[in-house]
Structure 1
């Protein structure tokens, strides 16, 4: 997995969308709302290791992981922990900086992790030896493609498709973004945004996280079952403001 876009919205909000390219056997049917590390998380729960590739929290944070760092690496199991469980554990730290300093990344397979805290997006890449940190421009659009599935020349082609869509799109609404993730680029069963490599690895879902004034909405489009699930998660601060005083 995957293909991920970050699209800024009016008034400083954003929409983060992920196409998950994975074995169909690991694709969940529903969204989960669970308590982890004192925070409420909203995410599609992986049927393999029990973690997730994308999650939102009630303290206004979002995380999304892609397999691989910069280039395709050699798969050398066993690994200490899955990348999906690492993503969930990120929310146990108060900030990106604290997570980078205190989390033990040794024994975790290389990854690219997109984090948004409030309206500040970050990119963390772990190549198996070192951590690479990048602060992203919140008012710019970004796209990522998994290094394990898409070599540099294919990533460049996908970036070209993305740039063409940015130039031609009449708006960047949720509907427009999801249409791009489903139908953008060119028909290519091996490298398209919706791909299928002999049913061993295929695009199984399209998940969007929409930041709203008082919380997040997650839209989970299950391409295997042809269903769509939506769920909202209120920010903790919004819940406190709404609570009647005595």
Structure 2
């Protein structure tokens, strides 16, 4: 998992749209988004029913965290790990300062991951955190459009192809939440191994989440691909 796109909404103060396709085993059932309290902090996220964590969420700390499995390149999995990556997501959502949280967090013996974060405490910030199993790579990103495809599932060649799809899509479309939802439900070449909604039998796209923030509101949209019911919740 996953495929993630992020872009700012230039006309709206601190506005952005992040959309995530979760590619996962069918055994990893997800509960739809709901409100939770973690360390006294209000959060909204879909929950991994098996592990109890999440891969995407919002918190009242004016923050969005979205997880992709893997780092810059594929890795060899260890037999076991100390902590689930889904717990890291919730910890970073609850933190007062994401910079201090990342600086002080113990990532030792956690499986490699990539986190895309948006923080709007002091202006809009796009951030990327990559834990490669030994070193954390944490940086601010330019406030422009971005796309990520998780390394365990997509080769560098596949990533490049998908980046080109996204570039062409932006050139052809007036970008909006609806247009990005269309990209995440239809982009591809008719090859289920690489299309944005992918299916390789043992793993496939299970659901789509979208978070849109404008100056007026912030909301989460969620669709489970088994029944294709859409849920929208305002935070």
TM over 0.5: yes
Paired residues of 1:208 and 1:220 also in contact (CA < 8 A):
yes
Partner of 1:22: 24
Q: How does 1:61-76 map to 2 (within 5 A)?
A: 61-76=63-78
Note the C-alpha offset of 1:215. Answer: 4.3
Q: Which of 1 and 2 has greater Rg?
A: 1
Name which of structure 1's ranges 91-100 and 41-50 shifts more when overlaid on structure 2. 91-100
Matched residue SS, 2:30: coil
Q: Is 1:172 matched with 2:175?
A: yes
Q: Is the 8 A contact 2:58 2:93 kept in 1?
A: no
Shift of 1:214: 4.9
Mapped to 2, the partners of 1:5 and 1:113 lie a distance apart of 12
What is the root-mean-square deviation in Å for CA atoms of aligned residues?
1.1
Q: 1:142 matched to which residue of 2?
A: 146
1:106 aligned onto 2:108: yes
SS of the aligned residue for 1:35 comes to strand
List, as ranges, runs of 4+ consecutive aligned residues in structure 1 with deviation greater than 4 Å: none
1:221, distance to aligned residue in structure 2 (A): 0.9
1:124-163 equivalences in 2 (<5 Å): 124-138=129-143, 140-163=144-167
Partners of 1:162 and 1:185 within 8 A in 2: no
Q: Secondary structure at the match of 1:125?
A: strand
Are positions 1:6 and 2:6 aligned together?
Answer: yes
Matches within 5 A, 1:53-68: 53-68=55-70
Q: CA deviation at 1:209?
A: 0.6
Deviations 1:180-213 (A, max 9, x none): 0011132211111001111x21001110011133
CA offset digits 1:3-61 (Å, max 9, x no partner): 00002112230011000000122232421200112211000001121111100012221
Instruction: Output the CA distance in 1 between the equivalents of 2:229 and 2:66.
Output: 21
CA distance in 2, matches of 1:82, 1:215: 31
Where structure 2 has 5 or more consecutive residues not aligned to the other structure, the ranges are none
Structure 1: where are the runs of 5+ without partners? Answer: 234-246
1:62-102 per-position Cα deviation (integer Å, ceiling 9, x unaligned): 00010111000001120111111110111232122111111
TM-score computed with the length of structure 2 as normaliser:
0.94
Contact residue 124 and residue 134 of structure 1 kept, 8 A: yes
Q: TM-score, normalised by structure 1?
A: 0.90
- Rounded Cα–Cα distance in structure 1 between residues aligned with 2:62 and 2:215: 10
CA distance in 2, matches of 1:26, 1:172: 32
The match for 1:187 is: 190
Distance in structure 1 (CA, Å) of the matches to 2:105 and 2:156: 29
**How many residues in Structure 1 have an aligned counterpart in Structure 2?**
230
